[in-house]
Amino acid sequence: GKKLGYTFNHRNLHNVSLGQGQEVVAEQALDLAAKEGHWVILQNIHLVAKWLSSLEKKLEQHSEGSHHDFRVFISAEPAPCPESHIIPQGILENSIKITSEAPTGMHANLHKALDNFSQDTLEMCSQEKEFRSILFALCYFHAVVAERRKFGAQGWNRSYPFSTGDLTISVSVLHNYLEASSKVPYDDLRYLVGEIMYGGHITDDWDRRLCKTYLEEFIKPEMLEGELCLAPGFPLPGNMDYNGYHQYIDDALPAESPHLYGLHPNAEIGFLTQRSERLLRSVLELQPRDGSAGQGAAGTREDTVTALLEEMLEKLTDEFNLAELMAKVEERTPYTVVALQECERMNALTAEIRRSLAELELGLRGELTMTSDMESLQNSLFMDTVPESWGRRSYPSTASLGSWFADLLARISELEAWTRDFSLPSTLWLGGFFNPQSILTAIMQTTARKNKWPLDKMTLQCEVTKKSREDFASAPREGAYVHGLFMEGARWDAQSGIITDARLKELTPAMPVVFIKAIPEDKQDTRGMYPCPLYKTRQRGPTYVWTFNLKTKENPSKWVLAGVALLLQV
C-alpha cells in the first residue's frame, strides 16, 4: 500500500468468501470500495458460476469513475477440465493473472510438503522422536502419491485430488494419537491415513491397495531403529530440527527417477512416449481439413480416404450366419454360448463398418449429400483413428486405425476357426474376445458342472507354462490354455517360474502360454503369490478383467509399488 502512496489498514479491506448466498454482500462491498478507494478480496468464485456474469457487469461499471485506489482481488480453484472453465473472458482479459503451479518432481514436492510445518510443529509433541520420524515419512508419502500421477495409468488407475489438507490433518491425527498413547499405534495410523484421509479420495480397489502398501512400507516399527529406507539410497533421517530436514532433502535425496516411487525406469519411458504421441497427434489434428490449402491437397485427402475405404471393404469378410451356426451346435455348453455371443457382437460391429463405409463412398462420389457423421468418418480415416460409431460397438483399444483393423481381421479369423466345429481351440487368444470375462467364467461353469461343485465357491488358478502357442496341439481335458498376455512393470522369468525385474526398454514383454483351470476356493494357495490384475489395455482402470495369482520370491509389495499388471493389448 505504501509503495502506491496508499495508507492501508483493516478498515480499507473487504474480504468475502463466496458461496452460501454471499453474492449480495460481495456486490455491496464492491460498490462501497469503488467509492471509498478500498480493496476487495473475493474468494472461491468458482462456487458461484451463475453470478459471474453479474460480477463481470459490476466490474465493467466500476472501471470508470471509481476511486483511483480501488482494487479487486479474485481467487478460484483450478478447473479440472476445459469444460469447467467458467470465469468470463471479460474478467480474464482485464486482470493481471497469477497462478500457483503445483511443484514437479520429488525434490520440489517433498520440500513443499515440509513447508506446511515449522520448528514449532516439530516441538509440539511429547514423543518428539516418534513424531518427527513419522511426520517426515508422511511428507514423503504425500509427495509420492501426488507426483506418481504423472506416470499415467501405471501410476494410478484414476486421477485423485490429493491436497496439502490431507497431509496437515494426518499430522494432527498423529499428534493426538501420540499424546494419548505411550506406544505408537502403527495400525491405527495407517488405517486412518490410508482409508480415510487419503483413501477417502480413492475409488479404485487397486489404487486403494497401492496407497495401503505405501503406508505399510513407510510407517512401521523399523523406522525408529534407523533401518528404514523411503527409497533406494534415501534412509529416513534421524532426529533433526526443521531446517535440518530441508537440508537433508537437498543433500541426500537421489536424482529424480521412477525408483523414488517404487517404479521401474521403464515407467518413465512409457510415460514420455505416450506424452509424445499425444503431442504429435495434436499437431496432426491441426492440419487444414478443407480445400483452403489448395485443390491438390483436398484431392489428395479424398483420394487417400477412398483408397483406404475400398481396401477395408474388400478385406472385410461376410457376417457370421448365426442361424446356421446354431443348427450346427449339438449341445449348448458354456463354451459354445460364449462363441455364439462373440459372433453376434462381431456381426453388429462389421455391419456398422460396412454400412458407414458404403455410405461414405457414395458421398465421396457425389451420389449422397455429405452429413456430419460422414465427414467425421472421413476425418477419422484420414487421421488414422478409430471412428466413434465403430468404437461404440467395439472393444476397448488404444491402437491406431490401421492396427485396429488388422486386429479386427485376426479376431474374425479366430472366431471362424472356432465355430467350424465348436471344439475348444488348443490355446485361446484371450485378448481376441469382446468380453474376456465370459470365457473365464465358462471355464469355471464347465468344471463346476463336471464335478458338481458350487460355482460361487470356485476360483481360477493360473499356472504359467514354459511353452509358446505353437507347442500346443490340443486343448487340456480341464480348463484352457491362454496366449496373448503381456506384462507391464516387470517380466516373467520362464526358467525360474517367477516374476522378476523388467529389462530396460522392454516395456511390455510377452508372457508364455498360461494354463487356467477352476478349483474350489479353499484349495487355493496364496503363499508367495502376487495378486496380479489383468486389464484389456494400458489405460487400465475400467478395462479390468480378472485377478491372477503369480509366483514371486520377492515381497509382493515390490510389485504393487511397481504397478505390475497383465495386459491383453499393447
Residue 10 has what pLDDT? 58
pLDDT tens-digit map of 371-405: 999 999 999 998 889 999 999 999 999 899 999 99
| CATH code (residue 368) | 1.20.1270.280
Angle (CA) 267-270-271 rounded to 5° is: 85
| One domain, residues 218 and 181 | yes
Looking at 423, 458, 491, the residue that finishes a domain is 423
For residue 127, is it within any domain?
Answer: yes
Residue 278 in any domain: the answer is no
The pLDDT, as a whole number, for residue 293 is 45
What is the residue whose three cell numbers read 456474469? Answer: 53
Helix 401-418 vs helix 295-315: crossing angle, to nearest 10:
10
Q: Please say whether the beta carbons of 262 and 561 come within 8 A.
A: yes
Q: Is the same domain home to 118 and 256?
A: yes
Domain boundary (61, 94, 127) is at 94
What digits encode the pLDDT tens for the residues 83-113?
778 888 888 888 888 877 777 889 999 999 9
Query: Which ranges of 181-330 does DSSP label H, i.e. alpha helix?
Result: 186-191, 205-218, 242-252, 266-285, 295-315, 322-328
Considering its fold, how many domains does the chain have in total? 4
51 and 175 fall within a common domain:
no
pLDDT at residue number 292:
45
Mean pLDDT over all residues of the chain?
Answer: 89
Same domain, 441 and 513: yes
What does the pLDDT read at residue 11? 66
Q: Do 118 and 261 share a structural domain?
A: yes
Q: How confident is the model at residue 338 (pLDDT cuts 50, 70, 90)?
A: very high
Phi, psi of 545 (to 5 degrees): -115, -55
Whether residue 111 sits in one domain with residue 190: yes
Q: What percent of the chain has pLDDT over 70?
A: 95
Task: Verify that 330 and 260 share a domain, yes or no.
Answer: no
Residues 83 and 224 in one domain: no
Looking at the domain assignment, is residue 493 inside a domain? Answer: yes
Q: Are residues 257 and 113 in the same domain?
A: yes
pLDDT average, residue stretch 533-560? 95
220, part of any domain = yes
270 within some domain: no
Residues 117 and 238 in one domain: yes
Is 282 a member of any domain?
A: no
Domain of residue 471 covers 424-569
Q: Please tell me the pTM assigned to this model.
A: 0.83
How far is the first Cα of the chain from the last one, in angstroms, to the nearest whole number? 59
Phi, psi values for residue 180, rounded to 5°: -90, -10
**pLDDT computed for residue 512 by the predictor:** 95
pLDDT band at 548 (very low <50, low <70, confident <90, very high): very high
- Residue 317 carries which side chain, given as an amino acid letter? T
How much is the pLDDT for 46? Answer: 84
Q: Categorize the per-residue pLDDT at 170 as very low, low, confident or very high, splitting at 50, 70 and 90.
A: very high
Q: Residue 192 is part of a domain; what is its CATH number?
A: 1.10.8.720
Backbone angles phi, psi at 548, to 5 degrees: -115, 135
Q: Is residue 289 part of a domain?
A: no
In a domain, 173, yes or no: yes
User: Measured between alpha carbons, how far is 391 from 397 in angstroms, rounded to an integer?
Assistant: 9
Which of 366, 398, 423 is the C-terminal boundary of a domain? 423
For residues 345 and 452, state if they share a domain.
no
pLDDT confidence bin for 12, thresholds 50/70/90: confident
Of residues 291 and 71, more confidently modeled: 71
Region 176-182 average pLDDT: 92
- Residue 315 CB contacts under 8 Å (≥ 6 apart), including other chains: 405, 409
- Assign 531 to helix, strand or coil: strand
Q: Are residues 308 and 418 in the same domain?
A: yes
CATH number (domain holding residue 509): 3.10.490.20
